[in-house]
Amino acid sequence: MASLVAATAGCRGTDELVQSIGAHVFVVGVDDDALVQLDVDGQCVRSVPDRGSNLVSFSLPLPEGPHDGTVTVFDVERRGDDGDDGDDDDDDGDDGDDDEERFGAGELRAERCGPFFLEVIAGGEPTALAIVADDLPRCGDDAADPAEGEGEGEGEGEPGPDEPEDNEPEDNEPEDNEPEDNEP
């Protein structure tokens, strides 16, 4: 049976299947109605936590070496009230764990996002990385709110490369103190 699983995964045997998993990435502290996306080496994978859980885990088939990636935690914006109170007591035979049902009635909005780095070491156990969702910066339109001290302001911070410092004259020409001749 294990060799069938390996063949289905595109591997020649169970050893290659185990070796192809180079990293485990865990994203903790997410809401149970969130969706988490990882982008690493051109791969894009998404997953959701189990209901009542705040953990999402990914097993990535990464080769040995360094890898840069991006993690995005999406929140679901509901389009309107569909009359569902969320207790899944409609006796439709559904166990309530269908991701399409959980996310089909809303739009995904990137809530938190940020880069991460991991390195897969040759011949060792898969690399494990834990990312705390609350430690990720907010992304989207409300990421830089000038009212919170981030953003543009007059006279704040260091002068830019094209701006003179306060103690330098703006004009480097010597001043001429002689009166001008105003001939009619």
The predicted-structure confidence for 39-57, as pLDDT tens digits, reads as follows 998 889 999 998 888 999 9
The set of residues, in sequence order, having a beta carbon less than 8 Å from that of 54 and lying 6+ positions away, is 28, 29, 30, 31, 32
The DSSP 8-state label assigned to residue 154 in this structure reads T
2-135, CATH topology level: Immunoglobulin-like (2.60.40)
pLDDT in tens, 130-167: 999 999 999 864 444 434 434 444 444 444 445 455 55
Question: Other CB atoms closer than 10 Å to residue 14's CB: what's the count?
Answer: 16
pLDDT band at 4 (very low <50, low <70, confident <90, very high): very low
pLDDT at residue 44 in the model: 94
The pTM of this model reads: 0.55
pLDDT at residue 145 in the model: 41
Average pLDDT value for the chain: 69
